[in-house]
């Protein structure tokens, strides 16, 4: 049995369809003072999976997730699996500066203490966050789903010289995973973050690690159909810089892929204005760019 929170209703419906499971309905509304009302209707089974991303508005979506989990347990459900395709607050996995809240740990504690028996997410920004859980916690990669979508797009458009590029070294693992599926080279740029909405990107390191089999240098960008891949696009600053550099060095087209399209502060507009052909995100978060469905990947994970 599947329940979709209000942030992930469509995705939950598709997962239920993939699995041939029943979709259970949740009624949510707000009292005049802003407090949340939540009611789960229907006969519940012993095992229920809740699907709810905790992107913007993070606190509301998180509270709803906690209400659903705790309510299910209170109503007698024996096992609750929490699928949180995009987990908000996961980027504060440690105290970067003295006195900061380790938000990711608090979120994990809350989900667990609400009664979740298992946790599943996608491409969490720092995998170590999952260590905050005592319950089984899995981090699934959306790269196969994105790569499948992209391969079809490239072949439809007759683009046969793709180059997958990570906009910073942290995303290089995604680029490697995706390029291996598509069957092309990959590389990364270097990025220095100057503030929450300001980054500096350099081309100097447009090359793979020297130990890597693939060696792609600056000249290799010319005439290529560049595919940028990152886990998250927030303000779009990282991607805009990457597009500017790739265009400057002669990429003939740039497609932009990510798992979690947060796209705040007109991020999508700025990315298109910088020259992206298409932004391809998943439906971990609902946006105009959520072209790749995670439904099958979630269904597969739930079958395991
Ligand atoms: C950080 O390292 C992440 O992988 C993304 O690159 C980052 O969150 C993107 O942020 P923005 O779109 O604001 O540059």
pLDDT in tens, 180-228: 999 998 888 887 776 766 666 655 444 444 444 444 566 678 899 999 9
Distance (Å) from CA 217 to ligand 1 centroid: 23
Cα three-residue angle 294-148-233, rounded to 5 degrees: 60
| Domain co-membership, 130 together with 193 | no
CATH label of the domain that carries residue 235: 3.40.50.2020
- Note whether 301 and 292 are within 8 A (CB): no
Q: Is 5 in the pocket of ligand 1 (CB under 6 A)?
A: no
Half-sphere exposure of 192 (CA within 13 A, CB side): 6
Q: Is 236 in the pocket of ligand 1 (CB under 6 A)?
A: yes
| Domain co-membership, 167 together with 204 | yes
208 or 74, higher pLDDT: 74
Residue 203 in domain = yes
| Domain co-membership, 118 together with 13 | yes
At residue 202, the pLDDT reads 57
| Domain co-membership, 238 together with 125 | no
191 carries an active-site annotation? yes
Distance, CA of 101 to chain centre: 23
| Domain co-membership, 204 together with 270 | yes
Q: Is 173 in the pocket of ligand 1 (CB under 6 A)?
A: no
Residue 255 in domain = yes
DSSP letters spanning 119-186: EEEES-S-GGGGGG-SS-EEEE--HHHHHHHHHHHHHHHT---EEEEESSGGGHHHHHHHHHHHTSEE
| Domain co-membership, 114 together with 45 | yes
Domain count along the chain? 2
| Domain co-membership, 22 together with 133 | yes
At residue 199, the pLDDT reads 67
Q: How does pLDDT run across 147-177, given as a tens digit for each residue?
A: 999 999 999 988 888 999 999 888 999 999 9
Task: For strands 190-195 and 198-202, give the pairing.
Answer: antiparallel
At residue 193, the pLDDT reads 72
Instruction: Supply the mean pLDDT for the chain.
Output: 92
Give rounded-to-5 percent helix, strand, coil for the chain: 35, 25, 40
The residue-averaged pLDDT of 117-140 equals: 97
| Domain co-membership, 156 together with 132 | no
Closest CA to 220 of 170, 162, 181, 276: 162
| Domain co-membership, 9 together with 113 | yes
Please count the residues of the chain.
Answer: 304
Which domain, by its residues, includes 221?
143-283
The residue-averaged pLDDT of 124-136 equals: 96
| Domain co-membership, 232 together with 165 | yes
| Domain co-membership, 157 together with 110 | no
Element (H, E) at 187: strand 185-188
């Amino acid at each position: 049995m599947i329940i979709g929170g209000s942030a992930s209703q469509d995705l939950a419906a598709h997962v239920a369809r993939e699995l041939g499971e029943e979709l259970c309905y949740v009624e949510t509304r707000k009292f005049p003072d802003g407090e949340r009302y939540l009611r789960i209707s229907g006969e519940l089974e012993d095992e229920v999976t809740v699907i709810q991303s905790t992107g913007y508005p993070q606190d509301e979506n998180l509270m709803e997730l906690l209400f659903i989990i705790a309510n299910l347990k209170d109503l007698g459900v024996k096992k609750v699996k929490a699928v949180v395709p995009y987990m908000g607050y996961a980027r504060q996995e440690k105290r970067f500066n003295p006195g900061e809240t380790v938000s990711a740990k608090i979120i994990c504690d809350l989900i667990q203490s609400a009664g979740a028996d298992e946790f599943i997410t996608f491409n969490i920004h720092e995998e170590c966050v999952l260590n905050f859980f005592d319950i089984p916690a899995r981090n699934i990669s959306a790269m196969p789903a994105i790569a499948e979508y992209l391969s079809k797009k490239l072949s439809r458009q007759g683009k046969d010289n793709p180059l997958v590029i990570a906009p910073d070294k942290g995303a290089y693992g995604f680029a490697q995973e995706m390029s291996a599926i598509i069957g092309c080279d990959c590389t990364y740029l270097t990025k220095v973050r100057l503030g929450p909405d300001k980054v500096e990107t350099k081309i100097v390191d447009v090359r793979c690690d020297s130990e890597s089999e693939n060696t792609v240098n600056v000249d290799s960008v010319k005439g290529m159909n560049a595919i940028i891949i990152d886990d998250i696009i927030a303000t779009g600053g990282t991607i805009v810089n990457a597009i500017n550099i790739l265009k400057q060095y002669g990429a003939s087209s740039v497609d932009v892929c990510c798992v979690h399209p947060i796209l705040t502060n007109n991020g999508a507009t700025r990315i298109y204005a910088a020259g992206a052909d298409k932004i391809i995100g998943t439906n971990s978060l609902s946006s105009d760019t959520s072209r790749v469905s995670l439904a099958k990947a979630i269904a597969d994970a739930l079958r395991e």
